[in-house]
């Protein structure tokens, strides 16, 4: 068993590193994207003026989704726990893909499009890449942290950080009905990313 795990562990770090790099690239590409409370006119003006950036961001987001799905499956295999991590990773990756597709669709709009349509497409992209992604990532975090807690396969501090990320993810889904919870979305996105990197590094050194 130990030989098999040792042979598998180094492979975990590669997709997680790819997910991190692609996420950073996506954030950098979309740094000037209008906020969710921006008007439809502002969204339409941005999308028509930055179609190339939007397409590049959508591509990076789709690629990051693929890397996340692979990483979740490999981590679940190394930990030999239930398939919750794989399911959560697949759900989170699927929501990132939907967000990328909505973003790409918004980039196809021209000056003649209705601002309300631009705002609606942007909202769909935000909801899928925000609260919906957080829900999937929270399931991924639980699927990693709980088996690791039961089997002592990760450091205790890392396990509790994962459970904290999962709790923040669950609360952030309330942003669908209460806007005050949107501040938790970056916590899940970037805090969860750092936690996942830490998990991959620990597993790769076992």
Convert the pLDDT of each residue in 126-163 to its tens digit. 999 999 999 999 999 999 999 999 888 899 999 999 99
Of 154, 202, 196, give the one whose Cα is nearest residue 70.
Answer: 196
Q: b/e map of 59-92 (b: 16 or more CB within 10 Å)? A: bbbbbbbbbbbbbbbbbbbbbebeebbbbbbbbb
How far lies 7's CA from each of 12, 46, 74, in Å? 10, 48, 12
Of 116, 129, 97, give the one whose Cα is nearest residue 42.
Answer: 116
The rounded Cα 128 to chain-centroid distance in angstroms is 10
- 0.85 surpassed by pTM: yes
**Rounded-to-integer distance, Cα 136 and Cα 89, Å:** 6
pLDDT, residue 170, reads 96
**Rounded-to-integer distance, Cα 103 and Cα 10, Å:** 34
**Rounded-to-integer distance, Cα 63 and Cα 105, Å:** 17
pLDDT tier for residue 8 given thresholds of 50, 70 and 90: very low
């Amino acid at each position: 068993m130990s030989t098999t795990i040792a042979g598998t562990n180094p492979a975990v770090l590669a997709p997680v590193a790819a997910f991190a790099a692609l996420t950073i690239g996506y954030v950098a590409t979309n740094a000037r994207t209008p906020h969710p409370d921006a008007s439809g006119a502002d969204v339409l003006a941005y999308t028509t003026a930055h179609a190339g950036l939007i397409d590049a961001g959508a591509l990076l987001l789709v690629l990051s989704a693929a890397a996340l799905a692979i990483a979740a499956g490999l981590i679940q295999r190394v930990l030999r726990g239930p398939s919750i991590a794989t399911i959560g990773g697949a759900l989170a990756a699927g929501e990132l893909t939907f967000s990328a597709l909505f973003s790409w669709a918004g980039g196809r709009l021209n000056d003649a499009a209705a601002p309300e349509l631009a705002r609606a497409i942007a909202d769909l992209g935000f909801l899928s890449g925000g609260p919906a992604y957080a829900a999937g990532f929270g399931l991924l975090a639980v699927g990693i942290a709980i088996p690791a807690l039961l089997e002592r396969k990760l450091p205790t501090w890392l396990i509790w950080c994962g459970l904290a990320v999962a709790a923040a993810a669950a609360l952030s889904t309330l942003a669908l009905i209460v806007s005050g919870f949107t501040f938790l979305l970056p916590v899940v996105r970037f805090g969860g990313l750092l936690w996942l990197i830490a998990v991959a590094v620990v597993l790769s050194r076992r």
